[in-house]
Amino acid sequence: MSMIKLDFSEQVIWITGASRGIGRAAALLFAQANANLVLCSRSIESLTQLREEVLAISGLEPLCLAYDVADLKAVKSTGQQILAKFKRLDVLVNNAGILQDALLGMISEPQLFQTLNVNLAAVIEHMQIASRLMQRHKKGSIINVSSIIGRVGNVGQVVYGASKAGVIGATLSAAKELAPSNIRVNAIAPGFIDTEMARSISPEKFQERLNSIKMGRIGDPQEVAGVVLFLASSLSSYVTGQVIGVDGGMLI
């Protein structure tokens, strides 16, 4: 039986929200597949340990950049730095996101706009900058991390759900626009994954969410990272405009 080994040698992968959770797990998997990595979060310190781990795994120095994804000028300048260092971009993983629950009537203006800016506007701006870089080689894969909440909604998550449904809408339109350039755009809709974000909710809600998972357990960030790598690789070369649930059967 032949073994398939994913290899991203010579490829450049831009990951937002790489400092922990799903983004960090994806970075470590890509490192095992010899990728050149651009790792981003809001502070360089939060990326220091990951940088060491990546270097130990692949021997390749990642480009670590600190910026707020909602700062559109910083996104543009990151694109310029990627071009200057690597001269190419193959994969964008739009993963950074925030979760702030509030019931209708209790949603503050800063919360509304911060969530929409970080979870949605930033995803669109990253796609703009990344697709321009990918056009140079007429090849690329963009992976947007949405959420099961963007598909089915949840109490207290009107803003988060809107931002994540927006990510799905943006994914579908971008997939149509970019397909002729051989740039694929897909979304992942994780269910309940064991990260700081999932642990930030109350114990009662945590148990309630666990109870809704048919597989009976919370997901591991690596289980989302595996799907990210699939969508980034040539194994999915004919897959675009899809939303892939990674939720242990929460939706069935």
Residues acting as catalytic residues:
160
The residue from 6, 32, 34, 46 that contacts ligand NAP (CB under 6 A) is 46
- A 10 A CB-CB count for 80 gives 11
The one segment of 39-47, 85-93, 125-133, 235-243 that binds ligand NAP by CB under 6 A: 39-47
The footprint of ligand NAP on residues 96-115 (CB under 6 A) is: 96-99
Residues binding ligand NAP: number (CB under 6 A): 30
The two structure tokens encoding residue 243 = 């939303």
Contact 174, 201 (CB under 8 A): no
- Write the binding mask 4 to 33 for ligand NAP: x where contact by CB under 6 A, - elsewhere: ------------xxxxxxxx----------
Q: Which is nearer to ligand NAP, 197 or 227 (CB)?
A: 197
Shortest Å, Cβ 87 to ligand NAP: 25
Shortest Å, Cβ 207 to ligand NAP: 14
In which element (H, E) is residue 38 found?
strand 36-41
Could you give the angle at the alpha carbon of 158 between the alpha carbons of 155 and 163, nearest 5°?
135
The interaxial angle of helices 158-178 and 109-116, nearest 10 deg, is 20
Q: Which is nearer to ligand NAP, 6 or 168 (CB)?
A: 168
Q: How many residues in total does the chain contain?
A: 252
CA-closest candidate to residue 189, choices 241, 244, 228, 142: 244
Q: Which is nearer to ligand NAP, 139 or 209 (CB)?
A: 209
Shortest Å, Cβ 18 to ligand NAP: 6
DSSP 3-state of 60: coil
**How many Å apart are CA 14 and CA 145, to the nearest integer?**
13
The two structure tokens encoding residue 116 = 């929409």
The one segment of 49-57, 66-74, 103-111, 233-241 that binds ligand NAP by CB under 6 A: 66-74
**How many Å apart are CA 99 and CA 198, to the nearest integer?**
9
In which element (H, E) is residue 246 found?
strand 243-246
The residue from 42, 88, 139, 205 that contacts ligand NAP (CB under 6 A) is 42
Q: With binding defined as CB under 6 A, does residue 145 bind ligand NAP? A: yes
The footprint of ligand NAP on residues 187-226 (CB under 6 A) is: 190, 192-193, 195-198
Interaction site with ligand NAP (CB under 6 A): 16-23, 41-43, 46, 68-70, 95-99, 118, 145, 147, 190, 192-193, 195-198
